[in-house]
Structure 1
Amino acid sequence: MKINSFSNLYLWLLLITLPVTVFSQSTDFVIQDVKFESQGITLAGSILKPKNPFAAVVIVHGSDPVKREMEFAKRLAKEGIAVLTYDKRGVGASGGVYAGPSVGTNNIDTTNLNLLSQDANAAVNTFRTYLKDKKTPIGLVGFSQAGWIIPITASKNPQIEFMVLFSCPTITTLEQLRFQFYTNGNNTFWENHTEADAREHIKNDPDRYQFVATDPKFSLNTLSIPGLWLFGEKDIQIPVKLCIEQLNTFKVQGKPFEYILF
């Protein structure tokens, strides 16, 4: 499918990050709770369907123990986008075990990221069966940790036709951790550090965890679907300018990837 076919979708997904007062929104959508199987466990979620959706998205979680993202999903549905949002495995009504920092476990090792990717893949396959118009394009929308999960999922499921990523890394999991430990949650980090400081730290800091790194570039290299990344310049979770450099490399190679920097 051509890149331009999703230009309107990109615009809407960009605009919904602005204040609600910008829009004249309709509440003409229905909500249906669903359950589906993934890797031997049952995941629970909700489907929000406008009357005539022009696109559909599955919401992919960040690293926290996140339940279904109903408020974000409603905002998308009001703009004519069908949504499937589900409780992360081990959270809410979903089965399985949650792995993450809040329970003292490493949730970005390759095994867990691939497992979460299989959950997203199962969500896409389930969602397709609920859409009346089988030509409705399905994409993935996600946050933070989804920057590794979405490319893996999209590279394995040809039903996925686009992706939108909020504050998502294009660097390896270990590189992201080096940066995150360096900023240490300090909201004033960029007032006291330079881009050069951050890059030097990412390049040379010893890793606190020992595991095989996941590099999203391997999956992104295989993709030809449109992708849109949304960044905030003062992010203290990912090194935004380094991530943008990687996207620019992909763009030079002809990949249909775009980004917006706030």
Structure 2
Amino acid sequence: MMRGAAAFALAASLGSLQPALAAPQSPSPPWSAPATTEVVTEDRNFTSGDAELSGTLHLPVSGKPVAAVVVTHSASSPLRSASLYDHLKTILPALGIAVFTYDRRGSGASGTKDAGGDFTVLADDAIAAARSLKSDPRIDPRRIGTWGLSQGGWISPLAASRSPDIAFVVAVSAPVVTADVQMIFSSTNHLKANGYSEADIDQMVAARKAVDDYMRGTVGRAEAQAKLDGIKTKPWFKYLYMGETFRDREVSGWRKEIENDPLVNLKAVTVPTLILYGADDAVVPVADSAERLQAVAPQMPNIDVHVIAGADHAMQMSEDLKTSLDPKHDGTERPDSPEYFALLASWLAARGLVGD
């Protein structure tokens, strides 16, 4: 992707950079031309609370400090190497923006203890990642933001609401409803896409609501477990992303998730924020989310919202609905919507985050 004068200025600056900054090159055919954008890839660790997390920085070679994006995770893509994040490692450095991906705590090289469903812990991990980048002289400490999809779209704004170190936010497919509402919407569509009956859907919804009400303290544990026992042998149970039992509400990570209202977090964000949805998203209630955002829009002048035609939950246009909702494909998503790419790039450019 070329950026007119900015791209030529970046190309001209490469000759003055120290050779130590050059990215290792794989063998190329003899007719290859040098790429305009040169990218350094570095593994680096950082500390968040009592955890040491491991990540990789993808840094465009530049003559001056660049903006950076810290990637927060979707629920099904906890590793820095997930295909969901590959487009960021390609597009953003070409725009003169560094990308930092890391293994979510409890995954990959980031230890064995997870966050237990506590979004605040995950948000603080993203903040710690941003702070670790601020000390790098190749990165502009005033232009470090976050990008997150789905659950990451909850984590990124939460991080910005908790720290002045986050200068901007991109939230993709982020439901502006609580997790219990989102999962009933998602589970309903999973069953519909796979041809199950309205009776099956009603039974699923009743079981989910019983578990959620137990977490709220309005239904007894035995009653909720009985509802869950009634569906755990169903052939469609795999589409619900539920265990066959659940933890006590006092220690349950799910209780923490459903008690978190993402709209409250969004209203606390004062930095520029881009929220992107796919019009064909079967996982997130986009219409409800957009309606809630529209209702509070006067209170959030720095937030831009776009719904992208033909895109699904992962900003894909190439996957059919049944395939995109199949659990065996979780973690293999690859965004391919041109409108998504264009909106992301143009929004970043309009806020002075791309390279010169």
Per the normalisation by structure 1, the TM-score is 0.74
- In structure 2, the partner of 1:240 is 286
Query: Which amino acid in 2 is paired with 1:37?
Result: T
Amino acid at match of 2:288: L
Amino acid aligned to 1:97? K
Equivalent of residue 223 in structure 1, options 258, 269, 275? 269
Structure 2 unmatched ranges of 5 or more: 1-34, 199-203, 216-254, 309-356
Q: Aligned match of 1:34 in 44, 63, 70?
A: 44
Maintained 8 Å contact 2:67/2:143: yes
Indicate which of 70, 87, 106 corresponds to 1:72.
87
Extract unaligned runs of 5+ from structure 1. Answer: 1-24, 100-106, 194-200
Matched to 1:217, the amino acid is L
2:67 aligns with one of 38, 55, 58: 55
The aligned length equals 218
Report if the CA contact (8 A) 2:267-2:300 is conserved: no
Deviation track 1:160-214 (CA, whole Å, cap 9, x = no partner) reads: 111111111111122212212222265589xx99xxxxxxx99xx8253322521
For the structure 1 residues 58 and 187, does the alpha-carbon distance in structure 2 shift closer, same or farther, using more than 3 Å as the test?
farther
Q: Is the 8 A contact 1:38 1:118 kept in 2?
A: yes
Instruction: State which of 85, 102, 105 in structure 2 corresponds to 1:89.
Output: 105
TM-score of the two chains, using structure 2 as the length reference: 0.55
| Higher percent of residues as strand | 1
Paired residues for 1:20-31 under 5 Å: 26-31=36-41
Alpha-carbon deviation of 1:65? 4.7
CA contact (8 A) 1:43 1:89 kept: yes
Give the letter aligned to residue 157 of structure 1: S
Q: Percent of pairs identical after alignment?
A: 32
Distance in structure 2 (CA, Å) of the matches to 1:125 and 1:135? 8
Please give the secondary structure, in 1, of the residue aligned with 2:183: helix
Within a 5 Å distance, the mapping from 1:1-262 to structure 2 comes to 26-52=36-62, 54-69=66-81, 71-75=86-90, 76-98=92-114, 109=117, 112-134=118-140, 136-184=142-190, 186-187=192-193, 206-209=209-212, 210=215, 211-212=255-256, 213-262=259-308
Q: Distance in 2 between matches of 1:118 and 1:216?
A: 16
Q: 1:252 to 1:43 in 2, by over 3 A?
A: same
Quote how far apart the aligned CAs of 1:54 are. Answer: 4.5
- Name the Cα RMSD after superposition: 2.8
Aligned to 1:103: none
